[in-house]
Structure 1
Amino acid sequence: MRNALDHAELNAAIENVHRAGMPGLFAEVRDGDEVWRGAAGVADVDTGRPVTADMRHRVGSTTKTFTAAAVLQQVESGRIGLDTPIGQYLPKLVPGERGDTITVRMLINHTSGLAEYLPYAYPSLKAYPALADTGPQSLDEHRLTRFDPTELIEMGVTAPAVGAPGGTPGVYSNTNYLLLAQLLEQVTGTTAERYITRNVIERAGLQDTQFPTGPYVDGPHSQLYESWFGMIDPPRDYSVYDMSWVGPAASLISTVTDLNRFYRLLLAGEIISPSSLVQMQRTVPVISQEGKTIDYGLGLHPTEAPGQAAFWGHGGTVWGGGALAMTRADGKRQMAVALNLQRWNKLDSCGKPLPHPIDDALVTLYRVAMYG
C-alpha cells in the first residue's frame, strides 16, 4: 500500500529550501493519520545548533485566525454584532462618521479603509510596503519598546484612509486587529490575550501555544534572522523582541504541530460553530502588505491550485521569523512550516523585490506538502 505522504520527497524539498539560502526551517505535514515532520539547517548560524521540528516559533499574523475566532465566539453569544459599527463599542478609538460606518466584519476582513500604523510606529519603514526608501534602523531602536495599543491604533486611525469603509479591494492593516483586541476586552472584561488563551488556545488543547509575556521565546526555539531586503547584511538576530508592536494581531508563539491541530479543529467546527465558519470563508479581494491581491475571509484565506481542493489557513511574519499553516477544506491534509529568515529578496532600482532561489524552493515545498 502506497503511503499518503512521500517522506523522501518532503525531506528533499525542505533540504532544498535550506540549500537555497534559508538558515533553518521546520515543518509538519499530515494526511489523515499519517504524519511527517522535518527540519533542515540551523537554529543559530554562529554555533551551528540545528533546527528541530518541535521548536517553538513566532508565527506572526497566523495569530489573526485565533483573534478572529475569538471575536466570532462573541458574535455567537450575542455580545458582538458582526455587522454592527465599531463606533457603537469603541467610540473614542474610532470616532465620527468612520465609527458609524466601519463594521466589525470590515475590521476582520481588512475592508475598513483604516491605514497600517507600522510606518508611523517605525519611522524608518515609512515607505513600507513601497520599499524603495526604507531602512532597518527602527527595528533596533524598538527592540524593547513597550507600545501602548491605543496609541498604535490612533496612528492608524488618524493616518490618511487607504479606502472607503466596505470598499474592495481592502488593504491589509494591523490597525484592524488591534481594534478587535480592544473590542474583545470591552465585551469580555478581560484582555484579549487572556480571552483567546482560555477560549481558543486551551479549547483546542494546544500545549505549546501562548502569547509572550516578555521579549523572549520560552522553550526550545530558533534565532530569527532579518535581512530587510538585503539592507541588513549579514542578517541580524531579532528573536529577543518586545511584541507589543503587534499584540493580538501577530505576536503568538506556537509550534507546527499546534498550528495543524488548531486549523484541523477550526475547520471541523470545534472552535466556532459551522455557521461562523461559513462566515470566515466568505472572501473579498484584499491587497496584502507585499502589494499582492489575495482572497481574504474573516481571519482566513484560501490557497487553490487548478484541479485541487482548496486549502484554508494563514501566513505570518515578524522581524526574522515566518510561518504558514494551510489545511484542506476536509481537514485531512495539512501543512505547517516555520522559517527563521525574512525579507531575503534584495530590491531593484524601483524598490521591487528581486527573485531569490528561496522563492522557488519554498513554492516547491508547499506544493509537495499540500498536493504531493
Structure 2
Amino acid sequence: MDTPLDAAALDAALEAVHRAGMPGLFAEVRDSDQVWRGAAGVADVATDRPVTADMRHRVGSITKTFTAAAVLQEVESGRIGLDTPIGRYLPELLAGERGEAITVRMLLNHTSGLAEYLPCAYPSLKAFPALADTGPESLDEHRFTRFDPVELIGMGAAAPAVGTPGGTPGVYSNTNYLLLVRLLERVTGTAAERCITRNVIERAGLRNTELPAGPHVDGPHSRLYEAWFGMIDPPRDYSVYDMSWVGPSASLVSTAADLNRFFGMLLAGEIVSPSSLAQMKRTVPVVSQEGRTIDYGLGLHPMEGPGQGAFWGHGGSVWGGGALAMTRADGKRQMSVAVNLQRWNRLDSSGRPQPHPIDDALAALYRLAMHG
C-alpha cells in the first residue's frame, strides 16, 4: 500500500542534505495525483540567491536514457538492428574484428569493452582507483574547449580495452554513447541533438528540456560547484562550460518536473514500444565510474525498493552538478532530485573517497521520496 506524500518530512529531509554541506538542492516527488516540490539552500553562495524547485539544471548522464530511447525508436523503424555490429554502420570509426564483434546493444549496456576517453581528453583527471594522483587543472583549461566527438571516440577506441565485447561485468564508458550519437546521425541524416529533440523531448511534451548548443544554461538555474575530492577548496563554479566533452551522451538541461514526466511516459510505453521497453529493462552487471558494480539495461538503471518493486531511471553528473531520477515500474511513485555540488568526498590515504554526511542525508531523502 502506498504511503501518502508527507510534505513536512520531505521538506525536512531536503533541509538535512543542505545542512550536511550541500549548497543547494531541489526535488519533485509524485505519487499518483499527489505532487510535492521542494528546495533548500542557495543557488549562488556569493549572493545567497535561493534555489527554487522549478530551476533548470544540467542532468549529466540522465541524457543517456534519452539517447537510448531515440536509438530504440530507430530499431523499431528497422533502420538500426539492436544486435547488428556497429562496424557495419560506422566502419570509419570502428573497423575490423572489433567493429564486427561490438553490437549496438553492447554500446547501449556498456559491454562493448571500449574504454572511457575522459582521462585522455582531460590529462590531469584520473579514473578510480587512481584518484589520489589526480588534479583539477584540466577543468579550467577546457572550460571553453570545443571537442571533436570523432576524436574523443578515437581516444576511447585507442585506449587499452576494458573487457571483451559482450563480456560481463561491463564497464561504464561515455565512448559507447558517443558512438550511438554518431549512429543516430548516420541512419537519420540529421544532427543527433535534433533527432533526440524531435523524437524524444518534443514527443514527451517537455517544455524546459534541451540539448544546449553553447556553454550557458538558459533560464533560471543554479551555479554548479565542483570540489574534486577536496582539491578545489572552496568549490569553484562550473555552470558555464562547453559540454562538447560529452555531447548528447550527458549534456541535457532539464527540470525535476520534466524528468518525472519523461520517465513516467517512458515506463508507460509512450516513448518507445512496450517490446523496446522490455529490452531496455534487460540488465547486465556493469562497473560504474565510481568503481561499484550495478545492474544496467539499455540506458536504464534499476533500483530495488523494500516491498515496493523496482524503480527505474538514471543518475547523472557534470562538473559541479548532479541529478537522479527514478520512477517505480508501475509509474505511480516518482522522484527527481538535483544538487549543485559534486565530488564532495575527500580521499583517504589509499585514494578512496571517504564517507561524508551528505551521503547519508541524500540516502535518507531517497528512501523517503521513493518509499515513504
The corresponding residue for 1:344 is 344
Q: Which amino acid aligns with 1:180?
A: L
The answer to whether the Cα contact below 8 Å between 1:119 and 1:128 also exists between their aligned partners in 2 is no
The answer to whether the Cα contact below 8 Å between 2:128 and 2:291 also exists between their aligned partners in 1 is no
Per the TM alignment, residue 148 of structure 1 is displaced from its structure 2 partner at its CA by 0.3
Mapped to 1, the partners of 2:63 and 2:108 lie a distance apart of 12
Per the TM alignment, residue 127 of structure 1 is displaced from its structure 2 partner at its CA by 3.9
**Does the residue aligned with 1:304 lie in a helix, a strand or coil?**
strand
Q: Which amino acid aligns with 2:93?
A: L
Mapped to 2, the partners of 1:176 and 1:362 lie a distance apart of 29
Per the TM alignment, residue 230 of structure 1 is displaced from its structure 2 partner at its CA by 0.3
**Does the residue aligned with 2:302 lie in a helix, a strand or coil?**
strand
The answer to whether the Cα contact below 8 Å between 1:312 and 1:328 also exists between their aligned partners in 2 is yes
Deviations 1:183-221 (A, max 9, x none): 000000001110000000000000000001100000000
Per the TM alignment, residue 129 of structure 1 is displaced from its structure 2 partner at its CA by 5.1
- The answer to whether 1:313 aligns with 2:332 is no
What are the residue-to-residue correspondences of 1:244-283 with 2, within 5 Å?
244-283=244-283
The answer to whether the Cα contact below 8 Å between 2:333 and 2:370 also exists between their aligned partners in 1 is yes
Mapped to 1, the partners of 2:119 and 2:88 lie a distance apart of 28
Q: Which amino acid aligns with 2:228?
A: W
Mapped to 2, the partners of 1:361 and 1:285 lie a distance apart of 27
Query: Which consecutive residues of structure 1, in runs of 5 or more, have no partner in the other structure?
Result: none
What are the residue-to-residue correspondences of 1:118-197 with 2, within 5 Å?
118-128=118-128, 130-197=130-197
Mapped to 1, the partners of 2:80 and 2:19 lie a distance apart of 48
Mapped to 1, the partners of 2:152 and 2:269 lie a distance apart of 33
Instruction: Please give the TM-score of this superposition, normalised by the length of structure 1.
Output: 0.99
The corresponding residue for 2:40 is 40
What are the residue-to-residue correspondences of 1:107-122 with 2, within 5 Å?
107-122=107-122
Q: 1:127 to 1:369 in 2, by over 3 A?
A: closer
Per the TM alignment, residue 305 of structure 1 is displaced from its structure 2 partner at its CA by 2.6
- The answer to whether 1:69 aligns with 2:69 is yes
Q: For the aligned residues, what is the CA RMSD?
A: 0.9
Deviations 1:228-282 (A, max 9, x none): 0000000000000000000011000000000000000000000000000000000
Mapped to 2, the partners of 1:240 and 1:282 lie a distance apart of 36
**Does the residue aligned with 1:186 lie in a helix, a strand or coil?**
helix
- The answer to whether 1:238 aligns with 2:238 is yes
**Does the residue aligned with 2:50 lie in a helix, a strand or coil?**
coil
Instruction: Please give the TM-score of this superposition, normalised by the length of structure 2.
Output: 0.99
- The answer to whether 1:21 aligns with 2:21 is yes
Q: Which amino acid aligns with 2:171?
A: V
Per the TM alignment, residue 6 of structure 1 is displaced from its structure 2 partner at its CA by 0.5
Mapped to 2, the partners of 1:357 and 1:23 lie a distance apart of 13
Deviations 1:157-184 (A, max 9, x none): 0100000000000000000000000000
Q: Which amino acid aligns with 1:328?
A: R
Number of residue pairs aligned between Structure 1 and Structure 2: 371
Mapped to 2, the partners of 1:126 and 1:290 lie a distance apart of 12
The answer to whether the Cα contact below 8 Å between 2:129 and 2:351 also exists between their aligned partners in 1 is no
Per the TM alignment, residue 306 of structure 1 is displaced from its structure 2 partner at its CA by 3.1
- The answer to whether 1:219 aligns with 2:219 is yes
What are the residue-to-residue correspondences of 1:268-307 with 2, within 5 Å?
268-307=268-307
Query: Which consecutive residues of structure 2, in runs of 5 or more, have no partner in the other structure?
Result: none
**Does the residue aligned with 2:197 lie in a helix, a strand or coil?**
helix
The corresponding residue for 2:330 is 330
The answer to whether the Cα contact below 8 Å between 1:129 and 1:289 also exists between their aligned partners in 2 is no
Q: Which amino acid aligns with 1:197?
A: T
Mapped to 2, the partners of 1:109 and 1:167 lie a distance apart of 11
The answer to whether the Cα contact below 8 Å between 2:172 and 2:289 also exists between their aligned partners in 1 is yes
Deviations 1:107-127 (A, max 9, x none): 000000000000000000134
Q: Which amino acid aligns with 1:108?
A: L
The answer to whether the Cα contact below 8 Å between 1:83 and 1:103 also exists between their aligned partners in 2 is yes
Mapped to 2, the partners of 1:190 and 1:129 lie a distance apart of 39
The corresponding residue for 2:58 is 58
Per the TM alignment, residue 36 of structure 1 is displaced from its structure 2 partner at its CA by 0.1
Mapped to 2, the partners of 1:268 and 1:316 lie a distance apart of 22
Mapped to 1, the partners of 2:39 and 2:301 lie a distance apart of 26
Mapped to 1, the partners of 2:33 and 2:18 lie a distance apart of 27
The answer to whether the Cα contact below 8 Å between 1:170 and 1:287 also exists between their aligned partners in 2 is yes
Mapped to 1, the partners of 2:280 and 2:3 lie a distance apart of 32
Per the TM alignment, residue 309 of structure 1 is displaced from its structure 2 partner at its CA by 1.1
Q: 1:127 to 1:299 in 2, by over 3 A?
A: closer
The answer to whether the Cα contact below 8 Å between 2:113 and 2:170 also exists between their aligned partners in 1 is yes
